[in-house]
Homo-oligomer: A and B are copies of this chain.
């Protein structure tokens, strides 16, 4: 989201983390701004019974975990690498200085937050009040449109596992599997070689 040269210019370091490594945990104090140079990161929670909920998945170029920097609250979720990754990290103070000196970077941050708030709004309404099939379709369309930047007419291969879809929608794997089958039967998507296309 923020120009990489700018990040380096303001003293960004690079953190190397392997798949499964934890960058920060729920409750930790936020001290750095993070942006993905390569790899992929998720933010998640576990409920009392140990069930995972994935807040979001962040890909190359995305920044994440800034809200706590702005509002001086601890992280509301864990940050975990889902692929081996390189992460730009820049200290809170340097980050604020960067925003102050570069209003255009500040604006792109704001736009980014607005974008994520928008996604959360859509998913919140889905999760709370729609049937599994509806939820899953909405999530897939969101990833197709926003993450992969494809048009509705394009053919999109869903790279999420059934388990990830479950954790993103608050459903169970079995329910996701069954719903996806039902959606295929209804013609909303196709399954080829166990992969979902939409």
Q: Which residues of A contact B (CB under 8 A)?
A: 43, 45, 47-48, 51, 53, 55, 66-71, 73, 76-77, 99-100, 103, 106-107, 109-111, 113-118, 120-125, 127-130, 134, 169-170
| Distance in angstroms between the alpha carbons of A66 and B114 in the assembled complex | 8
CB neighbours of A106 from chain B (8 A): 103, 106-107, 110
Secondary structure class of chain A's binding surface, majority of residues: helix
Contact residue among B55, B70, B114 (Cβ-Cβ distance under 8 Å from A121): B55
CB neighbours of A70 from chain B (8 A): 110-111, 114-115
Interface centre among A66, A99, A103, A170 (most CB of B within 10 A): A170
- B120 pairs with A121, CB closer than 8 A: yes
CB neighbours of A120 from chain B (8 A): 117, 120-121, 124
- A114 pairs with B71, CB closer than 8 A: yes
